[in-house]
Amino acid sequence: MALVFRRATAEDLAACSALCLRSKAHWGYDAAFMRVCAAELTLTAADIVHTDLALAERAGVPQAVAQVGPAQAAGRVELWKLFVAPGAMRQGLGRAMMVWAMAAARARAARALEIVADPGAEPFYIHVGARRVGAVPSGSIPDRILPHLRLSPV
């Protein structure tokens, strides 16, 4: 089956949210950790309106999702989500979604894509050209520090 890349719609939100949760859990996080970060990984109708949200699907089933938030500081937008279904990992979908995210950032007149990454995803982002610029506290887990990366120019 061919892979289809498209903008996500409101009808896709539940399936895309489930994909984000499955992808995160794939890396060995326990149930307690997943409960704490579930809200942060759940997509809402506001995401369709205020962000760029794309998915890659095969036979109508989401295989990857990426989300670029609205402009922050001048010339910068943030990659809010990039998740690949566990069964679709290592097939180039992460890289393909990064290409989409960079195009979405350029469409918003951004010169840089800011990324707050899961520590396990940092090597992927560095591999696609991002560089670490610092660290920030997790939005879900107290006392957890996450790598802050930047990809520029986009």
Domain ranges of the chain: 3-151
Q: What is the pLDDT of residues 35-89, one digit of tens each?
A: 999 999 999 999 999 999 999 999 999 999 999 998 777 789 999 999 999 999 9
* Residue where the block lists tokens 């992808």: 23
Domain 3-151, architecture per CATH: 3-Layer(aba) Sandwich (3.40)
Cβ partners under 8 Å of residue 148, min gap 6: 114, 115, 116, 117, 132, 133, 134, 135, 136
**Gyration radius of the chain's alpha carbons:** 15
- pLDDT at residue 54 in the model: 97
d(C-alpha 72, C-alpha 86), whole Å: 31
Evaluate the CA torsion angle 47, 19, 65, 121 in order and state its sign.
Answer: positive
8 A C-beta contact, residue 130 and residue 115: yes
Residue type for 115, please? I
CA dihedral 92, 94, 98, 100 (to 10 degrees): 70
Task: Kindly state the helix (H) or strand (E) to which residue 4 belongs, with its residue range.
Answer: strand 3-7
What's the rounded mean pLDDT across residues 140-148?
A: 93
| 83-141 tens-digit pLDDT | 999 999 999 999 999 999 999 999 999 999 999 999 999 999 999 999 999 999 998 88
pLDDT of 139 = 84
Report the pLDDT value the prediction gives residue 73, as an integer from 0 to 100: 77
Region 22-32: what's the mean pLDDT? 95
Among 15, 16, 13, 37, residue whose Cα is nearest residue 25: 37
pTM score over 0.85: yes
